[in-house]
A and B are shown apart, each in its own frame.
Chain A
Amino acid sequence: MEASKVIHAFYTDDEVLLDAVKAVKAEHHHIEEVFCPFPVHGLDKAMGLAPTRLAITAFFYGLTGLAFSIWMTNYIMIEDWPQDIGGKPSFSWMENMPAFVPIMFELTVFFAAHLMVITFYMRSRIWPFKDAENPDPRTTDDHFLMEIPVHNNNEEALTSLLARTGAVEINVVDKH
């Protein structure tokens, strides 16, 4: 059943927020989202979020860059037009390999870094002219906000639980 209302609980301290997240989790309520003005150490663990796989994608992007640079140097310098440039051995890729290493390194880093960043943007849905999603402008300054969907008329139980965890403000709002 899709919830039509959500509870917004505001906190002013990251330690209080962390304890609140743990308390809500202990009561087996689903936390839809937490908005913070800065990274809160351990929040992902407290919420039980799966670890990111961004580093794994970066590794494969790096391999792609390495393969691309090897193909490119081999095709251009060895296969397509193997000139004698200053006595460098262009008979095979391996013989001239040390000269290609700087480019191999840089392209590996370039692919790994840029493609990973783009992956991050796409997965996080961030792009220019995107409408901001934070429900309250104070969450970018000094307030933390926990968003919990309301199910089966558990509104009152939830509100009292959140009040006990030290929320400074609790609002029940329609889901946008």
Chain B
Amino acid sequence: MYQFSGKLKTFSLALIIFGVIGIAFSFYNGSQKTLEDAKHVIEASSSEGHGSSHGEAEKAAHVTEVKKVDNIVSGVHDSGKNVDKTMSGHGAHDDDSHAEHVLHQLQNRPWSAFYVALFFSLGITLLVLAFYAIQRVAQVGWSVVILRVMEAITGNLLPVSILMVLVVIASVMHLNHLFPWMAEGTFDTTSENYDPIVDGKSWWINSTRFVIRSIVYLLIWNAYRFFIRKGSIKEDTANDGNKTYKKNYNASVIFLFLFMITETTMSWDWIMGLDPHWFSTLFGWYVLSTLLVSALTVIAFFTIYFRSKDLLPGINDSHIHDLAKFMFGFSIFWTYLWFSQFMLIWYADIPEETTYFVARFTEYKLPFLGMVVMNFVFPILLLLNSDYKSKPWFVFIGGVVILAGHYMDVFIMIMPSTVGANWYFGIPEISSLCFFIGLMIYTTLRSFSKANTIPKGNPFLKESEHFHYYNIEHSDEGSTDHH
């Protein structure tokens, strides 16, 4: 059994409290924004030049030139401001409606910052749960000694699910402007906000169904987590000819089936719904891959930590090596899906699809390109070598970059649709991150302390304890241990 370390408890609670204060501050700050602030931002962006969100000064001549070609619909060379207008539902070009648009973006910022971290945290926890279910269904031998680590991480699922429900309900209640299709009058033909494109999709995206679907996803996931956690602990002492084990197996099969459906629709609802004019068929897989690689990294982190505290007897360098192989493989899988989505849209260049990447490429160039380096180039060079993959500190360094890169990926999925060019990585983003990191550490260690650190009743435990990848020399063994 594991005793929740007092130092880490204090540390995680400090992160949570720091996060709450920062979040509260940014929400207060965001709610204070007025139309005047928005106009100020617009003025500042036209005098400083636009196209780059950091306001690198461009020539005033360029600004006027861009204004002249304002009406041209197309775009790689459009400025960030144009993209805003194209992307916004109302598309009006006079100052006041533009100011209102920018105001919404400013007000969205604390919500988006919170939402990015919330979705990332929820997604990681969910994919740890899914990976755990896969281990059970595939009857994997090597990972049995770390099943309890995965289980512990999924302890985070319930609190983040509750927060997700709150955000969904707040959005439906018009407390924010995250989802443009929720705006008043979008489905009303007499309203000036009427949007025929979104109206055509109203059988899927309408508030009632959105809330019901969101709650159904979360209920399914939490139900499996509740059932499997209970069943897994029962396995330790069951001694019933593997009956409990088989029951858990069946539950995992059913969960994986439901998970694949709900994961796809979840990514439509919670991420693609932020851009109701845009659609992509492989989006569900893409979201899956980014969350899966992050989930594996988090599993590796906690495994390395628990191993360093001697809490996982039977774990050796080969287990770390396998986790790192998964991190490496799914990093490349992520790149494959990211590139497939990008390249197909770039190649065909259909306006209704391309706007998505134009907005990201013009307003988020550094994070957009930076994340490819962090999520692809870095892991491929660092984790290609078999020896490096079995060194915990190497895996840790690779993991930090992978996690940062995939946070950036979620950031780029969400932010351009909600705050547009008015993004910045500041107090709202950092405090939200701190809050969810603290929450994950707290919930994980807490549930890890509530059960045996290894699943004693699992029929594959012995195999897992003797797991050995052939060309890895374990640091804690003599030359006589392997033959």
Contacts and interface: CB of A to CB of B under 8 A. Distances in A.
A16 B270 CA distance: 61
A87 B75 CA distance: 13
B482 A42 contact: yes
Interface string B331-350: 00000000100110011010
Given A59-B384, A87-B349, A42 B343 contact: no
A168 interface: no
A74 B417 CA distance: 35
A18 B483 contact: yes
A41 B346 CA distance: 49
A46 B481 CA distance: 12
Taking residues whose C-beta sits less than 8 angstroms from the other chain, chain A's interface range is 10 to 19
A46 B471 contact: no
Contacts of B342: 98
A51 B346 CA distance: 45
A117 interface: no
B362 to A, nearest CB: 15
10 contacts: A22-B483, A42-B483, A45-B482, A45-B483, A46-B483, A51-B471, A55-B386, A98-B342, A98-B343, A98-B347
Contacts of A41: 470
Interface string A41-63: 11001100001000100010000
Interface in A98-150: 98-99, 101
Interface in A13-29: 18, 22
Interface in B32-86: none
A22 B347 CA distance: 61
A79 B317 CA distance: 50
A65 to B, nearest CB: 15
Nearest to B480: A22
Contacts of B346: 98
A99 B347 contact: yes
A22 B483 CA distance: 9
Contacts of A22: 483
Interface in B319-366: 339, 342-343, 346-347, 349
A23 to B, nearest CB: 13
Nearest to A55: B386
Given A42-B482, A42-B483, 17 more contacts: A18-B483, A22-B483, A41-B470, A42-B470, A45-B482, A45-B483, A46-B483, A55-B386, A59-B384, A98-B339, A98-B342, A98-B343, A98-B346, A98-B347, A99-B343, A99-B347, A101-B339
